Chain A
């Protein structure tokens, strides 16, 4: 079956623009995670959904960041009024449920804010 997919793969935004990043998890996966990975760093947790419920958003760096998963499948990470420090790769991962350790990562969206 298909893995986790993300779109767009690359996004260039001018500072101040709003962007929306999409994640399609593996079909049937209950849990969905968003991470931000800056160049040369490890992924940093942003937010977590179990089905449509956002259970943890402690990693969102500011109120410009917003994520949703309204039907418990596809998720969108929205960044309003982008800043240069938002430039990073945004990774989405999904896992089957509460009894699994493995999170499967998508290919990421590379966001560049100019």
Chain B
């Protein structure tokens, strides 16, 4: 059974601080990894994807991948109240394949 594990939270972070979200995956064959943001009652929207070991930065977001440890993380710098949402980590074996989602981590940015 392929699994993606996340702490459900809630994770509370003061406004302006760095939020760190973590995820592990069970299938070593996974090639691509995604972070989706989902606001309550809304559908998931893609924030970042990563497929190479190391860091990938996009604005205030940095995704980190360590395939040896089967670990993915998302850092959000200068957290804003609008970042409060559930963050879903996901893994994919091959391009255009199904995505295996974790249960999500609820992030709450404290004003």
Chain A interface (Cβ within 8 Å of chain B)?
Answer: 31, 33, 35, 40-45, 48, 50, 56, 59, 91, 95, 97-108
Chain B interface (Cβ within 8 Å of chain A)?
Answer: 4, 8, 32, 34, 42-46, 49, 51, 88, 90, 92, 95-104
Of chain B, the residue at the smallest CB distance from A95 is: B96
Of chain B, the residue at the smallest CB distance from A105 is: B43
22 A-B residue pairs with Cβ-Cβ distance under 8 Å, sorted by A, are: A33-B98, A40-B8, A41-B103, A42-B4, A42-B101, A42-B104, A43-B44, A45-B100, A48-B97, A95-B96, A97-B96, A98-B96, A100-B96, A101-B32, A101-B34, A101-B49, A102-B46, A102-B49, A103-B46, A104-B46, A107-B43, A108-B43
Given A33-B98, A48-B98, output 19 extra A-B contacts at Cβ < 8 Å.
A40-B8, A41-B103, A41-B104, A42-B4, A42-B102, A42-B103, A45-B99, A45-B100, A91-B43, A91-B44, A99-B96, A100-B95, A100-B96, A101-B34, A101-B95, A104-B46, A105-B44, A107-B42, A108-B43
CA distance A40 to B8 in the complex (A): 9
CA distance A50 to B97 in the complex (A): 10
For residue B52, give the distance in angstroms from its CB to the closest CB of chain A.
13
Provide the main secondary structure of the chain A interface: loop
For residue B25, give the distance in angstroms from its CB to the closest CB of chain A.
13
CA distance A98 to B34 in the complex (A): 17
CA distance A1 to B49 in the complex (A): 23
Of chain B, the residue at the smallest CB distance from A107 is: B43
Of chain A, the residue at the smallest CB distance from B96 is: A98
In the complex, the 3 A-B pairs of residues with the closest C-beta atoms, listed nearest first: A42-B101, A105-B43, A45-B98
Inter-chain contact B95/A103, CB cutoff 8 Å = no
For residue B46, give the distance in angstroms from its CB to the closest CB of chain A.
5
For residue A112, give the distance in angstroms from its CB to the closest CB of chain B.
14
Taking CB atoms, residues of chain A closer than 8 Å to B103 are 40-42
Of chain B, the residue at the smallest CB distance from A108 is: B43
